[in-house]
Chains A and B, each alone.
Chain A
């Protein structure tokens, strides 16, 4: 509500609506650009724009904490990772489009069909005048669902406490599991991306013969050290978070996987 209120004060009653339309157009436009631009780097940048637009929409939906996460994790870390890989592989100009025109047409038709079905089935009820979330909707009766938005104290850190209380009570196991998931993903990525394993077998053998036996321990030590550097950080982040205060930990926990990338 914060941004909405600010905008409302500046531009009148429809400020929230205005912001929605701005971000919606941005999001849709950038999304179409992502799937249609030939240059992958441009596509990735468009994706960043899309993420930011969605972050704005989150803000509009009175979820500032998620909005920040969205910018940090998606717009920041994940997209950096994408760009990293694109640059690393040097495949910024993609000439790989769908093989046939027919397939492309069918894909678009299919997508449009699903979009139409979804809009028709689920969106309609919420956009009608009878919807509880309509602008001129009557105040709900007691016990009935309202469209009042999220009710949380403005002072508790942009809703982070609101989120954290739930996350560390109801969803504690899921949270711990997600920590484990990130650890496993990190280790998996490290193992998968090791180039040594990818070299052809004969080359590898020849290489080893040239270096002689003395180099092997160094090599192993280097790998061990590399893993060792990653792991304590990961464990500190994951293991430390439940003990830390509720409002801080999610934000602290986030950056650790990206650092691995």
Chain B
């Protein structure tokens, strides 16, 4: 074991290189699900429905290993590096395939494998009877392996490998029912939108290598303090570009609502709980770099705040059970990014964890409801499911309350702490935006809940809702329990156990000179947040529970152009369509024209000219030796005549 200390960054963890013990076995964490993926994929026919057992086994084993690793890190807090092998070694550029295990990794590991395992179990019931049942589990395992590589990578390039692999599995799972072209398009949309961010990420890596001479996260973190603020600004924004695409922030959030085309467990696992938080994870992981450029952090904060507000506004007027949750996810991710921007790195991770609990739960609830309603998704044609689906109802209630910010559930703590941090760090406008977004969150989630579970049934006689099988309700209950107590247990106050645990891994913000925005104390801010949640819930109750909503979306209390704007998602998709698809299509068509006419024309022209010259030249190449001599003779005569004329 060699000991190194990362001092320059202000991170106080000692770096321990470990090849034995639990950390030595950490390489199994991504390998087990990968093996599960390969095994299931290879033996799809033979395994049949038993494929699920292999996948769940792999996920559960990974979870247990993660727990073991977590215990080790808890017992001996340190930044463990597990060297595996040298991935590539080109000249001065060497990439080691090492694993980085510290407190942040452990939190991510537990969330990914824990929620992942629950959703694997849930999928057994949800995907039952699907034609490609084994393949679904194979993909889930692939995703799990990819996400774990992303989380464990010690090198930005390894992280990027995982980053791309989760993008791939996301693509595969969104387009899982690729027979419907809309779903296949949604998968492509997600993939292509993420490519935009990947370019930014890659350029960021180039710049990072040019700046630090290495892509090792520890190396970058160590030297981050010594670089010019301009370089840091560029670097942070470039990595932010990657995070914006992966974590669905303005302007690249458009893929996430469409990603709901995938099976609901996928939405829960990938597009709510884990993958979309990869961008937040990346930013927090690079937080020692972030604090070098406070300007870049402000950009991050604003992007997060605007995303939180805009997505919440859109979610207020959506009718699709999953679309609402999707925009809610975008909004909550906005909160996380906002938190990173205002320097609340640990709060961001805290919200990431609680969000994984309650948003995973809510998506599973949505899946359960759709399961019961024959895949119906319009919340106006539901209602009154409380009696038919008691377990789903109660877990949904917990989930809704948690995300709305009702104390003492998980969402209350995490969201409130982000807002208070924003306030204390002097970002007044962002704090107000966050507060408005919190009110909206409470409103749209209550609307979602009321329209689905309360009131009179509006689903007609052809649907007979029933409670979902145990494989689905057990994960619901588990996640509901986590949503209920997770927040209080992990970090009820600003210096809770999670923060103490995470403190050595994030950049210190003491030197940033944050001043509180106003004179308000936490004792005032917390009630304010509770009031905000109450206002949202009350408004939704008055609008949807106290009024007759039987005529569907016409029952919306607020009408007019603004509501229309929200319902049509601010026309962002249409704008993108116009700008990128249409204009891009024009550019593409022009390029096609250039290609076929100019370039191909030039190529064909060269060929045609050659043919013409050849045809003309062939006549000269008669093969008659004497013909050649005759021409030579003519040339000689001409030459002599020319000389004669010139001399005379």
Contacts and interface: CB of A to CB of B under 8 A. Distances in A.
B448 to A, nearest CB: 86
B637 A110 contact: yes
B643 interface: yes
Interface residues of A, number: 11
B636 interface: yes
Interface residues of B, number: 11
B633 A118 contact: no
B644 A114 contact: no
A41 to B, nearest CB: 22
Contacts of A106: 630
Contacts of B634: 110
Given A117-B641, A118-B640, A121-B640, A110 B633 contact: yes
- If over half of A's interface residues share one DSSP class (helix, strand or loop), that class is named, otherwise mixed; here it is helix
Nearest to A98: B626
Contact of B643 (A107, A114, A121): A121
A110 B640 contact: no
Contacts of B636: 114
Interface in A90-141: 98, 106-107, 110-111, 113-114, 117-118, 120-121
Contact of A117 (B626, B640, B647): B640
Interface string B266-302: 0000000000000000000000000000000000000
Nearest to B641: A117
Contacts, number: 23
B632 to A, nearest CB: 10
A113 B641 CA distance: 10
A95 to B, nearest CB: 17
A114 B633 contact: yes
Nearest to A110: B633
B647 A110 contact: no
Contacts of A111: 633
Contacts of A114: 633, 636-637, 640
Given A113-B637, A114-B636, A114-B637, A120 B630 contact: no
Contacts of B630: 106-107, 110
A117 B633 contact: no
B644 A121 contact: yes
Nearest to B638: A117
A117 B634 CA distance: 12
B68 to A, nearest CB: 75
A106 B629 CA distance: 13
Contacts of B643: 121
A107, A111, A121, most chain B CB atoms within 10 A: A121
**Residue among A98, A111, A117 facing the most chain B CB atoms (10 A cut-off):** A117
A117 B641 CA distance: 7
A178 to B, nearest CB: 25
Interface string A37-81: 000000000000000000000000000000000000000000000
Contacts of A107: 630
Contacts of A121: 640, 643-644, 647
B234 to A, nearest CB: 63
A39 B637 CA distance: 31
Contacts of B641: 117
B643 to A, nearest CB: 6
A120 B645 CA distance: 12
Nearest to B639: A117
A46 B630 CA distance: 24
Query: Which of B626, B630, B640 has the most chain A CB atoms inside 10 A of its CB?
Result: B640
A150 B626 CA distance: 39
A249 B641 CA distance: 43
Contacts of A117: 637, 640-641, 644
Given A111-B633, A118-B640, 6 more contacts: A110-B637, A114-B637, A114-B640, A117-B644, A121-B644, A121-B647
Q: Return the 3 tightest CB-CB contacts between A and B, nearest first.
A: A117-B640, A121-B644, A110-B633
Interface of A: 98, 106-107, 110-111, 113-114, 117-118, 120-121
23 contacts: A98-B626, A106-B630, A107-B630, A110-B630, A110-B633, A110-B634, A110-B637, A111-B633, A113-B637, A114-B633, A114-B636, A114-B637, A114-B640, A117-B637, A117-B640, A117-B641, A117-B644, A118-B640, A120-B644, A121-B640, A121-B643, A121-B644, A121-B647
